[in-house]
Amino acid sequence: MKLIVGLGNPGKKYQETWHNIGFMAVSQYQASQAGDNLEFKNNKKFKAEVCETGAEEKIILAKPQTFMNNSGQAIKKIVNFYKINPQDLWLIHDDIDLPLGKIRISHNSSAAGHKGIQSTIDELGTQEFVRFRIGIKPATPTKVPTEKYVLQKIAKADKVIVAEAIRMVLAAMEVSLAQGLTEAMNEFN
């Protein structure tokens, strides 16, 4: 069983912001599994929108509704309920340290300043989970502080790059599910 969590912020205000790339990716993965006829449902107990899929292996998809900086609260509830091993927890999120459109898969790595990841590490007491990171660093340096930049709407010109990066993450997830994480890291990192 895998728990795949997209990190982001709830509400219309944040829908198309950099910080919500994780939500976008998980939603696209859910849509790609349409044959399963699944929908995200708000689960108050988990403080997250959740749905289940997977023919051979059960996959739980989640979008925490706790806001980014408290993502770990929702993730911990879901991990404990389903008894998920840390290495079977996959997080998809934005990464300001990666160039726009680049993706990286990492396992057992520090938060590197990402507050949603730090919240998860703090709540679970481990960093032994997998991360699918999507680069959002602008090509031209910006004077906007990071905490404000990540909450800005994604510019129209950048949406094509973001869509391609999400497509690559979904492909990397499929390789990870079918052939293992090492194979996916070799192919996509």
The secondary structure element, H or E, covering residue 145 is none
Give residues with Cβ within 8 angstroms of 138, minimum separation 6.
Answer: 100, 149
- On whether the CB atoms of residues 20 and 9 are closer than 8 A, the answer is yes
Residue 135: strand pairing partners? 95
Find where tokens 């990071």 sit: 146
Q: Give the C-alpha separation, 139 to 154, whole Å.
A: 14
Helix axis angle, 115-124 relative to 71-82, nearest 10°?
A: 40
Task: Tell me which of 19, 93, 107, 114 is the catalytic residue.
Answer: 19
Cα–Cα distance for residue pair 73/64, rounded to 1 Å: 8
Is residue 114 among the annotated active site residues?
A: no
Distance between CA atoms of 67 and 59, rounded to whole angstroms? 23
Asked if residue 98 lies in contact with residue 114, where contact means CB atoms within 8 angstroms, the answer is no
d(CA 65, CA 48): 5
Q: Which residues are catalytic?
A: 19
